[in-house]
Amino acid sequence: MESKITKYLQGTASPDEQSELLKFIRASNKNREYFQLQKEKWKLDSKKVYHFRTDNAWKEFEKTVVLKRYSNRKLKIFLLTVASVVITALCVTTILFYSTAMNQDVLVQTRLKQKLEVTLPDSSKVILNENTTLSYNPLQFIFSRRVSMEGEAFFDIRPDNLKFIVNSGPINIEVLGTKFNVNSDSENVDVLLEEGSVMLTHDVNKDFKQILVPGELASYTYSLNELHVDKVTSWENIVWSKEDLQVKNIALDKFFVELGLRYGVKFELDANDSLRNLKVSLTVKDDTLADILDVIQLSMPIVITKERTAYKVVLDEKRISLIR
């Protein structure tokens, strides 16, 4: 475990090693104390490395700089002056290194039309949409699973007794293990919950608390300090975070099952073998559901209508008769 701690502090630990270390630390107070002890030891050892390099630099300097024309006294003064500059520079570098290493946040940014999946130290997954920023402190993350973000991101949080907090503007989203989407800008924060539960809190207003259940969309407006919670009828807002749905020559009924799962809606097909046995080949990206249904109806002899609880799919008898 000592080697894993060292690799973590050096920033070279793999995701599996980070996850294993996280479990070890949270298992007991004794383990936490051991981690702190190893961290302090690592700091001291790292300082020794710098001191060793300082000594080596001095020795190399003595070997390479030979000024025979100087008197012994002048040579000593010259060497001490230069050495003090070297040592001072190295000490400043050491201090800056430690200050940076202990306080440095990991910052991830996406550009226009770029998506990126990030694996956090606890193995939670975050998918960043375009023009999004995510930041966290890797050392503090062990004891406080907290990240900050601006833009849009889909979170798949690994279950843990230690709560996970997403900060976006004045709003905090607290979870233990769940899937949810956050979309924030300078005016609003929208939180859509897909699985599990989350609690929204406010940085300033300590009485502000809102618990969401799956299928609820919470919208907070900064200027009005107002929160509205609505029930969504589909997962269209988070389809951008899903992998492309590619189907090739599959039965229509099976296609609508997969499409329904992707968008969080239901499709009911008419009890007609001719309808169910139609074959479809299609690639669905982050298109709107309306666009997908339009394409399907244009390319196949079917009619899709939205009813109260589901989409009804039937054969288009007029087009079928023309084909026959």
Confidence of residue 127 (pLDDT cuts 50, 70, 90): very high
Q: Which candidate, 32, 30, 12, places its Cα nearest to that of 22? A: 32
Cα-to-chain-centroid distance, residue 175: 14
Please indicate whether residue 86 or residue 134 has the higher confidence score (pLDDT): 134
Q: What pLDDT shows up at residue 285? A: 82
Q: What pLDDT shows up at residue 11? A: 63
Collapse the DSSP code of 273 into the 3-class scheme (helix H, G, I; strand E, B; otherwise coil) and give the result.
Answer: helix
Contact 126, 135 (CB under 8 A): no
Q: What pLDDT shows up at residue 67? A: 45
Distance, in Å, from the CA atom of 43 to the CA atom of 101, rounded to the nearest integer, reads 10
- Over the stretch 201-257, which tens digit does the pLDDT of each residue have? 998 888 899 999 999 999 999 888 899 999 988 888 888 888 888 888 888 888 998
Pairing relationship of beta strands 116-119 and 311-315 according to DSSP bridges = unpaired
- Over the stretch 259-269, which tens digit does the pLDDT of each residue have? 988 888 889 98
Contact 182, 165 (CB under 8 A): no
SS3 content of the chain, % helix, strand, coil (to 5): 40, 30, 30
- Over the stretch 166-200, which tens digit does the pLDDT of each residue have? 999 889 999 977 899 999 988 999 999 999 999 99
Alpha helices in the chain (DSSP H): 2-10, 15-27, 29-64, 72-103, 252-263, 273-276, 289-299, 317-323
As a whole-number percent, the residues of the chain with pLDDT over 90 amount to 28
Over 70: is that where the pLDDT of 50 sits?
Answer: no
The pTM is what?
0.58
| Phi/psi at 41 (5° precision) | -65, -40
Distance, in Å, from the CA atom of 307 to the CA atom of 318, rounded to the nearest integer, reads 22
Pick one of 3.60.140.10, 1.10.30.50, 2.60.120.1440, 3.40.1260.10 as the CATH number of 106-237.
Answer: 2.60.120.1440
Angle (CA) 218 219 223, round 5°: 145
- Over the stretch 59-88, which tens digit does the pLDDT of each residue have? 554 554 444 444 555 555 555 555 555 444
Q: What pLDDT shows up at residue 246? A: 83
Over 70: is that where the pLDDT of 46 sits?
Answer: no
Structure tokens at 112: 């226009």
Q: What pLDDT shows up at residue 66? A: 46
Fold of 242-323: Phage tail protein beta-alpha-beta fold (3.55.50)
Angle (CA) 305 307 313, round 5°: 40
Over 60: is that where the pLDDT of 56 sits?
Answer: no
Structure tokens at 299: 């390319």
> Which residues sit opposite 202 in a β-bridge?
171
Please indicate whether residue 34 or residue 75 has the higher confidence score (pLDDT): 34
Spell out the domain ranges in the chain: 2-103, 106-237, 242-323
- Over the stretch 283-311, which tens digit does the pLDDT of each residue have? 888 788 888 899 888 888 889 999 888 89
Distance, in Å, from the CA atom of 174 to the CA atom of 172, rounded to the nearest integer, reads 6
Confidence of residue 98 (pLDDT cuts 50, 70, 90): very low
Q: Which candidate, 188, 187, 166, 183, places its Cα nearest to that of 175? A: 166
Pairing relationship of beta strands 302-306 and 311-315 according to DSSP bridges = antiparallel
